[in-house]
Structure 1
Amino acid sequence: MFTVPLWIFLKMTEIHPHEELLEAGSLCQFDDSLGRALFVSHQWLSIQHPDPSFEQLLVLQKALMDLISGACRVSLPPVIELWFGRLRLPSAADFNAQSLFLWYDYFSIPQSEENIESRQKAISSIPCYISQSFFFMILIPAVQHENGRILSFESWAERGWCRLESMARSLAREDGFRITVNVASSPTLTTDLGGLAKAPGKGLFSVEDDRKKSGKFSPDCLQTDPLESLVPNFSTEIDPSIDRHGFVTAKFLHENGFASVQERDAAGWSPICYAVLRDDPFLIEALVKNKADVNDSNRRAKNDAQLPKGLPLLSLAGTYNNNQAMKALLLAKANVNATDSLGGNALTASIGMGNKEAVQILCDANINPNVKLLPGTGAFKIACGFADVPTIQAIMTRLPANVNLRFALHFGLIFYANVDMVSFLLKSSADINEQLEVPMKKTGWWMLLKFLALRHRVSPSALTYLAYHHSGATPLMLSIITAKFDCASLLLASGARVDLKNRRGKTAADMVRETGAPISLRPAPKTNSERIFGI
């Protein structure tokens, strides 16, 4: 694969396409003996050009220089520590251990019309390039697309090609680091939480034909041949013209290594669990007719995908946006109110993955909307936490009795809030200066925050800092603590007070100083709110 040596990239002041860099001798064919590759995943600023004014790449240059020199470090977002614990963070030594070589599409893939064949070959090899890259860097500075939208992690995650790159990274290797760069001085470690439910084919593509092309890359990401119809020696006496359900069931069991519909594999999954992932209503119907349990669940947690033990089939379908499977399960009389080991049901699972259609389906099936997911979180707060505005709107429409805006901004900012969600909640009359309180009667959350606050005294982190300062915190304070600087800018532009103190007597300015947040607390006009912080 063609890459740019780091020392050449750091000297750039403008962007040049592959052909010009190749002619100038600025590209090299990477192999592991040279050092480490860094794959840059980003969103183009226009259909024709990735970064016309060198805005994105300037942020990347500064971030890499600071990481290499030790002027800044990759931090662990509170929500990632909450889900996965304290993961190892890359240090300056990791960036200096070997020479670095950047893979960036405009540099590494032929761009001219004369090189269409070479370009297609390079595009088809992207999963391979990602597998060779020790670092996977998501470059998402708040710059403006030609359509006027300010780019963000959310806009990146909508793109089909970006989803494909993320999926390829998750499947390609377990070592190395996945890093997000929004602000150059504050890179963060990121994971693929929820990413396995974001299918590339369901993402956005500037060219619709690319949607079909992306599907061809999935087997490449697995670095193996697809197994469908390749498992040998399938034989059955079932005549498909007489018993189509039985034939389909037998073939599915054979191809997936099962002897019966009741069998489970080493991961604790039965055949019907895998059938739900295929989103094939007829397959589910066939399995149920052949004695598969429509109320089955997994018997072991799958932590890397954040799937708890005892996850009902309906919840599994909602998690992966497999709504045809969900309808088939309901038609087969699946228990709509079945819960998992964390107390959640299909509604909470669907909300967590932004599956607004499932909200409608489950409400029509009279699901219980009052369940609480550990450590005591209701459906509306879960929707705010995962920051999907259409899902929040669906809950407001179908379950108005379950909507409570109190601390909705806080919950969102602790988890995955973005500018769109904060703006929506403000327009819905959420209190911009509300101060957080978690009473003892909220036992789960109270005990968790109490434990983390105590831990802060002996082993501090961003998560323990949040817990230590949560009482009396405003949305602005939480946006600073969680490094959601675009949200902080919007809150400031919308009139958030900077003089309020939390229960420990700290103001937002104190938190900016203590966390080193690269943000000014001077209000900016709303039209520029996303750009108040520097690179």
Structure 2
Amino acid sequence: MGSALSGLCSEVETNPVNLAPVHECQFPLHVMKVSDFLEMEGVPEAHAVLKQRSLLHEWHAGMFVIFVSHQWLSSSHPDPQGRQVAVLRDALRGMISGSVDVAVDFISRTHDKRSMSQRTRQEIAKGYVFFDWFAIPQITARTEGINEETTRSDAALAVGSIPAYVEVSNLFIALVPEQLHKDTGLLCNYASWLCRGWCRAELWCHLLSNKPDTSVVVVYSPAEAEYMFAMDWQQNLISEGDFTVESDRSAVVKLGDMAVMSKIQHLSDHGPLSHFRFYLALRPRLLGRERRDRTLEEFLLHFRFQSLQEAAEDESSMNGTMSAVMSGDVKMLQLLAANRADVNFKLHGLGELGYFDTQTVLMAAAKSRQEPEMLSALIQLKADVETRSRSNIVCAYLVRSPGHVKVLADAKADLEASWPLNGPAALASTETVEAMVKFRCDPNFDYETFGVRYGPLHSMTLFGRSNKHAVTTARLLLAHRADVNAQAKPQGAFEQKCRDSQREVAAKGFEACPMQTRFEASAPGITPLSLAALMGHEGLVKVYLEFGAEMIPNGRGDLPEDLAKRNGFTHLLPLLATFAT
């Protein structure tokens, strides 16, 4: 084993996938050929069985490895009915053939047109899969002739090596189809996966590595996969994750610390300076530590500004104002503003980090979950609460806490229109949405008055698969008489896009089109229930049905069960059929 370990770790150092590995490799990485995996059926077999069948291969430099992160569906077996791996097989086949279009998430698509390349699809076809049940010796899967003490020791070493396995992987897949946990009966999906401490650690080790490509593919169904929205990982800290074994928390948090510090060091050495400052500013929050104010000299040295004047007048993407705001330093912000720093600075060049061009510093403060005092300080320094980005959103759309809502209400921001409620409904907590409702934010909407394309129930259903508060927020909105049967009415440029997508779907077929095209073609006349079916969100389907949702067809004539079936969410069909009239 010693030679295997040293061989693996020496190859990691020269593997071009990761220029500067951080985590220690203690046990050889075992992977399976994608071609072999695609020929398998049923419940996945354990490491020892696959090894006896010669289906596992030790990693070596030059392999294209797909690291699959997922949530176990029972305490003793990751996938006792084989449903997760069935989705993975179909999704991989679709990626290879091109029938599954992998593009950026809905929120990012106006800023980022990236999609999976043909070369990546070819690499997947020739590649290897890491799946923990295959790769790690399992004491729970007993095999005749296998020494249990050795297995237990090897398993511990392999688990401790997972961060190193992530580092040498070329593609990271979050496998998150909605399934019931066998023991708890709870739904496992993207939101619950994001809550798991170990899943967060795997994710961070990938995203904060020094690989050329750190994108993450989220697989929802056999027919739908997309690249992860940057804010999804930034707002799910390892230190706040859920751990089955609580004693794992401190050890796993240390892995996150190593990943963050390594990222900052790499950016310090190689740039870009904007990203170095960004991660440096967010470091205390990412690591779950208390932030502290800095003297002027400390601030300038820390963020690499030559002088106060440079920090105040700099117009780069992470200038002095942004560095102060993102690090939560109100006093430094005030000093910079006193030296003519622009508190209405519009962002640019940070789109890949989730902060899009033309959004304001005030918006960045809100979406990065700064304390209410930071928003209040910006407003006192004359930051405009009603400035709109090119997506036509205002700061109220991006609030993340009840404290944010109060600051904007005190500043006389327009909270009564329904459009700002769409953002918090999708991405913030139920308490935040409740605060907006208390300030007379209407959970229904008037198409003719506001020209709104869809309301908060629609927005939450479309954008909220990462939000663990989605079901409770839906109940809150419905309790405040949100119309469960409201039908979306696209207007203006969006209406034309919907017509174009309908023509594309008619020509190619629904399943052959990208997810955004499917949504746009389905959007005219779509209800929250139909949208929940399209997005595969069982919890929201149940809530909408409980509150009297009807089986109303959209403008194309699609019923909820049609949309669920066509997007690969067949687990919803029995539920929808039960309530069909």
TM-score range, shorter chain: 0.7 to 0.9
Give a deviation string over 1:209-256, Cα, whole Å, max 9, x none.
24632432323662845859xx9xxxxxxxxxxxxx998222321232
* Cα distance in structure 1, aligned partners of 2:105 and 2:231: 16
Larger helix fraction of residues: 2
Q: Which runs of 5+ in 1 are unaligned?
A: 232-244, 439-445
Aligned-partner SS, 2:68: strand
Contact 1:42 1:156 in 2 (8 A): yes
8 Å Cα contact 2:69-2:172 kept in structure 1: no
Question: What is the alpha-carbon distance in structure 2 between the residues aligned to residue 121 and residue 197 of structure 1?
Answer: 24
2:325 matches 1:276: yes
CA contact (8 A) 2:34 2:127 kept: yes
Matches within 5 A, 1:363-378: 363=408, 365-370=410-415, 378=419
Does the alignment pair 1:339 with 2:339? Answer: no
- 2:529 maps to 476
Aligned length: 490
Question: What is the aligned partner in structure 2 of residue 200 from structure 1?
Answer: 237
> In structure 2, do the counterparts of structure 1 residues 385 and 502 end up closer, same or farther at CA, with 3 Å as the change threshold?
same
How far residue 118 of structure 1 moved from its aligned partner, in angstroms, is 2.6
Show the counterpart of 1:411: 459
The 1:476–1:289 alpha-carbon spacing in structure 2 relative to 1, beyond 3 Å, is closer
RMSD: 4.4
1:135–1:364 Cα change, 3 Å: closer
- 1: distance between equivalents of 2:109 and 2:547? 30
Give the deviation of 1:340 after TM superposition. 5.2
Q: 1:412 to 1:360 in 2, by over 3 A?
A: closer
Residue in structure 2 matched with residue 452 of structure 1 by the alignment: 497
- The offset of 1:368, in angstroms, is 1.0
Amino acid at match of 1:38: I
> In structure 2, what is the equivalent of residue 219 of structure 1?
260
**1:480-495 matches, cutoff 5 A:** 480-482=533-535, 484=537, 487-488=540-541, 491=544, 495=548
Deviation for aligned residue 1:40:
0.8
- Map 1:249-264 onto structure 2 (within 5 A): 249-263=296-310
Matched residues in 2 for 1:490 and 1:133: separation? 39
Distance in 2, matches of 1:163 and 1:97, equals 24
What's the counterpart of residue 441 of structure 1? none
Alignment counterpart, residue 345 of structure 2, candidates 276, 290, 297: 297
2:131 alignment counterpart:
104
Asked if the contact 1:395/1:403 (under 8 Å) is kept, the reply is no
Secondary structure in 2 matching 1:179: strand
Distance 1:126 1:279 in 2: 35
Distance in 1 (CA, whole Å) between partners of 2:379 and 2:97 is 60
Provide the residue aligned with 1:400 in structure 2.
440
Rounded to whole Å, the distance in 2 between the matches of 1:404 and 1:457 is 27
Residue aligning to 1:122? 161
Q: Secondary structure at the match of 1:57?
A: helix
Q: Secondary structure at the match of 2:318?
A: coil
- Aligned residue in 2 for 1:42: 70
SS at match of 2:398: helix
After TM superposition, the structure 1 = structure 2 runs for residues 41-80 of structure 1, keeping only pairs within 5 Å, are 41-45=69-73, 50-65=78-93, 67-68=95-96, 73-74=100-101, 79=106
- Specify every segment of 5 or more residues in structure 2 that has no aligned partner in the other structure, as ranges: 1-28, 139-150, 274-291, 447-454, 506-512
Shift of 1:150: 0.5
Query: Which one-letter code corresponds to 1:182 in the other structure?
Result: Y
Query: CA offsets, 1:453-482, max 9 Å, x none?
Result: 343366555445544553333223333445
Deviation at 1:3, TM superposition (A): 2.0
Secondary structure at the aligned position of 2:415 is classed as coil
Q: CA deviation at 1:187?
A: 2.7
Conserved in 2, the CA contact under 8 Å of 1:476 and 1:492?
Answer: yes
Distance 1:301 1:402, change over 3 A: farther
Identity rate, percent:
19
How far 1:194 moved relative to its partner? 1.8
217-226 vs 141-150, which moves further: 217-226
How far is the alpha carbon of 1:63 from its aligned partner?
3.6
- How far residue 452 of structure 1 moved from its aligned partner, in angstroms, is 0.3
Contact 1:124–1:217, Cα closer than 8 Å, also in 2: no
What are the within-5 Å matches in structure 2 for residues 220-235 of structure 1?
222=263, 224=265
Aligned-partner Cα distance in 2 for 1:493–1:246:
50
Whether 1:152 and 2:189 are equivalent positions in the alignment is: yes
Q: Secondary structure at the match of 1:337?
A: coil
Q: For residue 235 of structure 1, what is the aligned residue in structure 2?
A: none
Alignment of 1:308-323 (within 5 A): 308-309=356-357, 311-323=359-371
Distance (Å, rounded) in 1 between the aligned partners of 2:379 and 2:114: 43
**Cα deviation, residue 139, structure 1:** 3.2
